[in-house]
Structure 1
Amino acid sequence: MSDPIRVLVTGAAGQIAYSLLYNIAKGDVFGKDQPLVLVLLDITPMLPVLDGVFMELQDCALPLLREVIPTDKEEVAFKDLDAAILVGSMPRKEGMERKDLLKANVKIFKSQGAALDKYAKKTVKVLVVGNPANTNCLIASKSAPSIPKENFSCLTRLDHNRARSQVAIRVGVPADNVKDVIIWGNHSSTQYPDVHHAKVKVQGKEIGAYEAVKDDGWLKGDFISTVQQRGAAVIKARKLSSAMSAAKAISDHMRDIWFGTPEGEFISMGVISDGNAYGIPSDLIYSFPVVIKNKTWNIVDGLAINDFSRGKMDATAKELVEERDTALEFIA
């Protein structure tokens, strides 16, 4: 067996982490033969709950889990990390303006970015889950100048999985018969789930999603709004946010970073824009279609973009520019 890798999960006493930690600890993310040290960070008032999570991980008696470190101290949590999954963030509270939400999260992710810069390995792979995920990811990256900005990504895999599933249900095929859906832009209600390049395997043959679904009105209407609003719909039904599906998406995202995307397939993730792909402004964490090999992502470039898609892609970019500019006011 190889040496253990150090994996941090923040917000580790929360419900997403509760669904996620077992997936990681039993080898579903970093491999069935990869020993782990799991570091669990949360705020001081959550330490009693964190202790319960710590005990449960011990009680799972998992062979890959070499050590579990629960802590409220950044200097402990971020030391020598191979991977950091930043789940914890300030949630939006009733009556809170988006500007207030951004201000609170800038403080958190500026601090965590600085801790990554100071304590983590320079090769660390950082996934930001806590919302607003794209902008939080940008702030963390800017606060960790010695770590390549390409090492930072934010989670839009949950939206990707939702889009894939909606098409599969509509056509009546298993979800893995649908590939190459794209989530463009922000992990918010402006995101654009795009299936113009998606393929669906029907009766052993791959065809375009529009051909498979045979309902352009649905694909340009209810399909998009269902994916955009799915998180809110889950909260309305459960009175809690998506935890099980978020944990699955986090696992998918990190496993693809570690082992690469399947041959001939691309996935969606929020990564830094350099201004060269699809006319998206630079210095944004924007969700693109990517392929991953040797732990390095590349944007799938050159896909044809029609006017319908262009409008949606630009609208979500505009929201991200506004979020970024607001957040940067608070970073000093």
Structure 2
Amino acid sequence: MTTELMKVIAQENLGSHIEKELEKEALKSLIDPLQVWITSASTPACYNLIPILTSGEVFGVHTEISITLFDNKQAEEHLKILAKETWDLVSPFLRSVSICTRVEEAFRQAHVIIILDDPTDREVYTLEDCLRSRVPLCRLYGYLIEKNAHDSVRVLVGGKTFVNLKAVLLMRYAPNIAHNIIAVALGVEGEAKAALARKLKTTPSCIKDVIIWGNISGNSYVDLRKAKIYRYESAIWGPPHFSRPVLSLIFDSEWVNKDFVATLKQLTTTGKQFGGILAAHSIATTLKYWYHGSPPEEIVSLGVLSEGQFGIPEGIVFSMPVKFENGTWVVLTDLEDIEISEQIMTRMTNDLIQEKLVALGDLINFQPYQSENGSAETDEKTTLPTTDDNQENQTVSDGSEGKTVEH
């Protein structure tokens, strides 16, 4: 046999071997279900999340999942009832459902971990105590994730309480998978779109590209400069892909700068309308985008670790515009005309930096951001909200610095 012929045969054998290995991996992915862990599983958000996860819409109709409900020992009976109801769904995509109340067993072989709002076991009377109370649990979770979870685990931090802070703490205590930890911002984005839809008398799904900057569960900045509306009934009509700028259709600038701001601020402050349904849908949609990509040409808001984009200080989790593709996300740094004024950026980053420093014990007291005239931007910073939320500000941008109102 000549050398050239042997090379040809060897190449064919190698090709056959690779093909067989790929077939094995494909079969393995069908046999081995995706391990999904949900923390604080006794919370209402989990109850609403499970039917979406088991519908086949999030991970795809070719992926089976196993769900583990994780919570403390006191919630064991509730978890058993929830597990039974989940099994009663008879979902063809659900391989198994189990409960876990033993901390040392948490996140074993987890591919996806969903961090929900943790219940408060003890009373806290100051904002500083509330911030510091997040550290022990995030430290524990970070250690367990690195020890027990799959190497490629994806972690989503959802809910309505200190979302950015919990995400950055998890990154600190699970540094090996920090690149796969994100904070869900679609809930705030949904609230903004719904408020706009009520004003324009349309449906929220017709409004796209509303950007949420900053602290998802607190001092955020709602940017409408790229916002578009589709299928809007007006004097100008077009095909389904035709859109118009939202701000060009809202002629009441007073509403944009006052009523709209006040509505979003109230939602953030109280958290009452960010219930289980919205939290669950936001998490599930973010997961779907992470696995299958976000809609083409659409801007999505997501809390990610800053690497200095847009002038944001490094080392904090900050909500910014992204797109999901190929199993990851890309920050949209090439968007035009989305510069944020230095004062607004300083106010948002100041809060997030202080939250992190106070939580880690590097700063004793949280100091509200002082504006140039020496007054505090908010008087709600020094007290702990009764709903266990971080009461902070909401700002809306219509693209004009003169029309940007900060409350």
TM-score by length of 2: 0.75
Gap change, CA 1:91 and 1:300, over 3 Å in 2? farther
Amino acid of the structure 1 residue aligned with 2:129: D
1:135 aligns with 2:165: yes
1:197 aligns with 2:226: yes
1:145 aligns with 2:175: yes
Mapping 1:45-84, distance limit 5 Å: 45-84=74-113
Instruction: Report the counterpart of residue 41 of structure 1 in structure 2.
Output: 70
SS in structure 1 at match of 2:249: helix
Mapping 1:250-261, distance limit 5 Å: 250-261=283-294
CA contact (8 A) 2:132 2:360 kept: no
Report how far residue 255 of structure 1 moved: 0.9
Q: 2:257 aligns with which of 215, 220, 232?
A: 220
Mapping 1:133-282, distance limit 5 Å: 133-147=163-177, 149-201=178-230, 202=232, 203-204=237-238, 205-232=242-269, 235=272, 242-275=275-308, 277-282=309-314
- The runs of 4+ residues in structure 1 deviating greater than 6 Å are none
Amino acid of the structure 1 residue aligned with 2:321: P
- Over residues 125-145 of structure 1, what are the superposed CA-to-partner deviations in whole Å (9 max), with x where a residue is unaligned? 100125211011111111112
Amino acid of the structure 2 residue aligned with 1:225: A
Q: 2:148 aligns with which of 89, 112, 119?
A: 119
How many Å separate the matches in 1 of 2:57 and 2:269? 28
1:12 aligns with 2:41: yes
Instruction: Report the counterpart of residue 298 of structure 1 in structure 2.
Output: 330
CA contact (8 A) 1:191 1:228 kept: no
Report how far residue 273 of structure 1 moved: 0.2
Percentage of identical aligned residues: 28
How many Å separate the matches in 1 of 2:34 and 2:278? 25
How many Å separate the matches in 2 of 1:137 and 1:285? 7
How many Å separate the matches in 2 of 1:157 and 1:58? 28
SS in structure 1 at match of 2:191: helix
Report how far residue 32 of structure 1 moved: 2.6
1:325 aligns with 2:357: yes
Amino acid of the structure 1 residue aligned with 2:304: V
Instruction: Report the counterpart of residue 27 of structure 1 in structure 2.
Output: 56
How many Å separate the matches in 1 of 2:89 and 2:128? 42
The structure number with the bigger radius of gyration is: 2
Report how far residue 68 of structure 1 moved: 0.9
Report how far residue 305 of structure 1 moved: 3.5
Report how far residue 102 of structure 1 moved: 1.6
How many Å separate the matches in 2 of 1:166 and 1:313? 24
Report how far residue 26 of structure 1 moved: 2.1
SS in structure 2 at match of 1:26: coil
Report how far residue 233 of structure 1 moved: 5.0
- Over residues 107-159 of structure 1, what are the superposed CA-to-partner deviations in whole Å (9 max), with x where a residue is unaligned? 11111011111111121110012521101111111111221x22111121100
How many Å separate the matches in 1 of 2:181 and 2:63? 22
- Over residues 220-272 of structure 1, what are the superposed CA-to-partner deviations in whole Å (9 max), with x where a residue is unaligned? 3322332232154562xx8xx61111111111111111111100001111100
Question: Unaligned 5+ residue runs, structure 1?
Answer: none
Amino acid of the structure 2 residue aligned with 1:243: G
Amino acid of the structure 2 residue aligned with 1:16: A
TM-score by length of 1: 0.91
Gap change, CA 1:107 and 1:180, over 3 Å in 2? same
SS in structure 1 at match of 2:136: helix
| Aligned pairs, number | 323
- Over residues 140-195 of structure 1, what are the superposed CA-to-partner deviations in whole Å (9 max), with x where a residue is unaligned? 11111221x22111121100111112112212222222111011000234111111
CA contact (8 A) 1:11 1:87 kept: yes
Question: Unaligned 5+ residue runs, structure 2?
Answer: 1-28, 363-407
Q: CA RMSD in A?
A: 2.1
How many Å separate the matches in 1 of 2:101 and 2:192? 36
